[in-house]
Structure 1
Amino acid sequence: MPTAVEFWFEFASSYSYPAALRIQAAADRAGVAIAYRPFLLGPIFREQGYESSPFVQYPAKGRYMWRDLERICAIHGIAFRKPSSFPRTSVLGARLVAAYADEEWVPGFVRALYRANFESDRDIDDAAVVRECLAASVADADARIAAAQAEPLKQRLRDNTTRAAALGLFGAPSFRVGDARSGYELFWGNDRLDEALAWALGRHALQR
């Protein structure tokens, strides 16, 4: 039976956008379960010595990233518009996913919030934008938002971020595959999504 793929992402992450829009359909076709694991990159970057996103601190890298993202989205038929502000994160959105990670509406909500930023250029740190995206998937959006911003559910995003650092994650998107018996494999970057799914299925070249 295929092992699950942990999808570690940050709503501010540009390369997590195409990964988030692709992963569920690709996993469904492959018969692989996805575990959604939002975390915050800020503490990870600070530990690495960055004050902000490397794409902001190094303009040449940023220029390349935006053009690369255009190409990637075009290849996969994903609508894209460069946000007028970068990086934009959504702590509330991440708290919601961390709090309700196993619920069926999560994949659709994740895609909607990413589209709000990278397709519609909306401020995903605005609670009204988050609520609109959530209300498209659940009837009790206000109650879920209130619960996600209170303890103990609020703590889950902090725990995810601490866990990400402990696992050695250094960027997003990251995909973690495996189990305690056979060990875990880490894949980093949107371009490693297919490899991660292949590993979950036992079909990667290193597993043959």
Structure 2
Amino acid sequence: MPTVEFWFDFASTYSRLAAARIETAAAAAGVAVIWRPFLLGPIFAAQGWTTSPFVTQPAKGGAMWRDVERQCAALGLPFVRIEGFPRNGLLAARLALVADESGAVAPFARAVFEAEFGAGRDIADRTVLADLLADVGLDPEACFARAASPEIKARLRAAGDEAGTCGLFGAPSFVTADGEMFWGADRLDQALDWAVHGRLCRRTVAPTGETP
């Protein structure tokens, strides 16, 4: 089965949009999804940035929030413009790697995104994360202990290094088995198309007023 790697950061509004629909879209396309949590902070730091460009450029940030609000409405998702953006997703990312070991990374990641951008909850709060872990059938205390282990910390650092090597500069990003990279939630369908065909398929667009 073709695969696509879904690289996401829990601080990313657009990663939330992709996470909400990637499994349904991938299943329809016959593509398996590999969930890849990572941190954008080190990627930004390598470019000399101390925070998200959506923060340093107010006009861009304002446009992003309005765009995400529209996209959430179209997808039927709740929307909260959170304070303190971007939120600290370090512990959540480590826990996602732990959840992956139990085959629960997808439901846990979706739960984190919905708690954050759908309900405005603080995903750096251990109590919030404990609730989300329990909701997807995981033992919170065991997960926290595993997340603090050298192995999980090393895996998250390695993921960041791999993201940099792959040329990733933002989230969400999608990487197909042949190394083709697509950036942005609005490129998900193209990434799935490429994963299946090794290229983008031509779409028939009818002239105005005509039906294809």
TM-score normalised according to structure 1 size: 0.91
Counterpart of 1:164 in structure 2 is 163
C-alpha displacement at 1:136, in angstroms?
Answer: 0.6
Structure 1 residue runs of 5 or longer lacking an equivalent are: none
Counterpart of 2:143 in structure 1 is 144
Query: Deviation digits for residues 49-78 of structure 1, max 9, x if unmatched?
Result: 211100000000000000010111111111
Instruction: Determine helix, strand or coil for the equivalent of 1:152.
Output: helix
Counterpart of 2:10 in structure 1 is 11
Q: Give the length in aligned residue pairs.
A: 201
| Larger deviation, residues 94-103 vs 156-165 | 94-103
Structure 2 residue runs of 5 or longer lacking an equivalent are: 203-212
Counterpart of 1:128 in structure 2 is 127
In structure 2, give the amino acid aligned to 1:33.
Answer: A
Instruction: Determine helix, strand or coil for the equivalent of 2:151.
Output: coil
Counterpart of 1:196 in structure 2 is 191
Percentage identity across aligned positions? Answer: 50
Q: Distance in 1 between matches of 2:158 and 2:104?
A: 22
Counterpart of 2:207 in structure 1 is none
Moved over 4 A (4+): none
Instruction: Determine helix, strand or coil for the equivalent of 1:43.
Output: helix
Instruction: Determine helix, strand or coil for the equivalent of 2:179.
Output: strand
Judge conservation of contact 2:97–2:105 (CA < 8 Å) in 1: no
In structure 2, give the amino acid aligned to 1:163.
Answer: E
> Equivalences for 1:57-68 in 2 at 5 Å?
57-68=56-67
| Larger deviation, residues 146-155 vs 12-21 | 146-155
Q: Distance in 2 between matches of 1:103 and 1:175?
A: 23
C-alpha displacement at 1:92, in angstroms?
Answer: 1.3
> Equivalences for 1:23-34 in 2 at 5 Å?
23-34=22-33
Instruction: Determine helix, strand or coil for the equivalent of 1:101.
Output: helix
Rg larger in structure: 2
Query: Deviation digits for residues 129-183 of structure 1, max 9, x if unmatched?
Result: 11111111124221122112112122111110111111110000000002xxxx3
Instruction: Determine helix, strand or coil for the equivalent of 1:18.
Output: helix
Q: Distance in 2 between matches of 1:30 and 1:89?
A: 33
Counterpart of 2:181 in structure 1 is 186
C-alpha displacement at 1:43, in angstroms?
Answer: 0.7
Judge conservation of contact 1:36–1:97 (CA < 8 Å) in 2: no
Instruction: Determine helix, strand or coil for the equivalent of 1:84.
Output: coil
Q: Distance in 1 between matches of 2:149 and 2:86?
A: 25
Query: Deviation digits for residues 89-110 of structure 1, max 9, x if unmatched?
Result: 3211101222443543211111
Judge conservation of contact 2:8–2:173 (CA < 8 Å) in 1: yes
Instruction: Determine helix, strand or coil for the equivalent of 1:205.
Output: coil
Query: Deviation digits for residues 8-33 of structure 1, max 9, x if unmatched?
Result: 01000111111111111211222211
C-alpha displacement at 1:204, in angstroms?
Answer: 2.1
> Equivalences for 1:51-130 in 2 at 5 Å?
51-101=50-100, 103-130=102-129
TM-score normalised according to structure 2 size: 0.90
Q: Distance in 2 between matches of 1:121 and 1:71?
A: 17
Judge conservation of contact 1:177–1:184 (CA < 8 Å) in 2: yes
